[in-house]
Amino acid sequence: MKTKKRMIAIIAILLMIVLSIGIVTAVISYRTSLIPSLSFEDMLAFTTKDNEQAVITVGIFKDGQGKYTVYGENATILPSLEHTYEIGSISKTFTAALLGKALYEGTVALSDTIDQYLELPGKNKYPDLHQLVTHTSGYKNYYFEPQMIANRLRGEKNDYYGISVAALDKKLTNIRLKDFDYAFLYSNFGYSVLGRILSKVQEQEFPALMQSFIEQDLKLENTHIPLQANNLPRSWNWAKDDAYIPAGALVSTIGDMLQYVQIHLDGNIPYLDVASQPTKDIQETTKNYEKMGIRIDSITMGWMIDEKNNFYWHNGATSNYNSYIAFDMDTQVGVVILSNLAADYRIPATLIGARLITSLQD
């Protein structure tokens, strides 16, 4: 009887995950007709309307300097404090930057396949590093692990919590890819594999490797992987051995993120020069995306490219935070949106940020 009840609970959880995806899609579809007519200010006002918990920080880099404004309920301007936010998948741009450094130092090559670094069955087909970093590896967004059910049952917000590097290695041995070029498919798993390889090459656990890179190479003081005691409200937990850390574990502040924009615009770090990096044409701009001002025309190492509007961008989302970063190399402008609201709450940072950067380019 207990076993039957447990199975019902597990099925209910899986259905909840599937249904939540459907609901979010429906809500986004409904909003699509409204968004084209809204300005940046309209979007911000609507998203924060009557929500006393809202704290959205908007950063603009223009004319060689970064400035930011913190907005609260009803788009009221709050004191200029640097709040900490989860930045979700923007973390992938940092992992891609680590790959760029390894390429620059000659320790890896984009054409290297992952079995050159990991002990994997010789009969299988494996993606190369370029396919991993451009989401064209053939790997799914994620692969189910029993730990995900355990996380849900105990109320853990981060589905990826507790999925170890050993579990990732084991999963890799069981995945069968076909021998052809795969189309773009956004993959948290693929970036986790990329982080695993960089960790192996540098002979260092990924959290320590990333933290050293952030502090010593990027000179960012308030960006880190929140391990152990995490005081950020409503945030995800991470353990040091979690395999999915490279895909989305970082937290940061507006000061650091504006500095990160400036680093890319300045181009003083050779391996972060996005203009010189190989790109891959993916043409993932759907009609709905285009209607909302979102374009994914091509991709480089860690960055989506809006070719029509000429800027690089990425976004991020966790259970209770969402974010957006974009920059235009030609006009030397950039924007950062950091929000303590979920991505499916009213208008996400991605749409607000895309509207803002295109208005700054005019």
One-letter amino acid at 195 equals G
> Mean pLDDT, to the nearest integer, of 264-281?
95
Please tell me the predicted confidence (pLDDT) of residue 2.
Answer: 55
> Mean pLDDT, to the nearest integer, of 252-257?
99
Domain-located, residue 180: yes
Q: Residue 20: pLDDT band by 50, 70, 90 thresholds?
A: very low
Which run of H or of E encompasses 174? helix 165-174
Please tell me the predicted confidence (pLDDT) of residue 36.
Answer: 85
Domain-located, residue 326: yes
> Mean pLDDT, to the nearest integer, of 186-215?
98
Q: Residue 351: pLDDT band by 50, 70, 90 thresholds?
A: very high
Please count the structural domains in the chain. Answer: 1
Alpha carbons within 13 A on the beta-carbon side of 351: 26
**What percent of the chain stands above pLDDT 70?**
91
Please tell me the predicted confidence (pLDDT) of residue 316.
Answer: 98
Residue with tokens 């203009």: 275
Residue 262: CATH number of its domain: 3.40.710.10
Domain-located, residue 73: yes
Residue with tokens 């000179």: 219
Domain-located, residue 3: no
**What percent of the chain stands above pLDDT 90?**
86
Q: Residue 35: pLDDT band by 50, 70, 90 thresholds?
A: confident
Domain-located, residue 229: yes
Domain-located, residue 247: yes
Domain-located, residue 175: yes
Domain-located, residue 25: no
According to DSSP H, which parts of 33-76 are helical? 40-48
Output the average pLDDT for the chain: 92
Q: What angle do CA 137, 317, 325 make, to 5 degrees?
A: 85
Lowest mean per-residue pLDDT among 22-31, 33-42, 278-287: 22-31
Looking at the chain, how many residues does it have?
A: 362
Chain center to CA of 49? 26
CB 325, CB 89: distance < 8 Å: no
Q: Is the model's pLDDT at 70 over the cut of 50?
A: yes
Helices (H) and strands (E) in the chain, counts: 12, 11
Please tell me the predicted confidence (pLDDT) of residue 123.
Answer: 87
Please tell me the predicted confidence (pLDDT) of residue 34.
Answer: 76
Per-residue CA distances from 238 to 160, 165, 226, 241 (Å): 8, 13, 7, 8
Q: Is the model's pLDDT at 16 over the cut of 60?
A: no
Please tell me the predicted confidence (pLDDT) of residue 230.
Answer: 77
Q: Which residues pair with 57 in a beta bridge?
A: 70, 338
Domain of 231 in residue numbering reads as 35-361
What phi and psi values does residue 321 have, to the nearest 5 degrees?
Answer: -140, 150
E strands present in 255-303: 280-281, 298-299
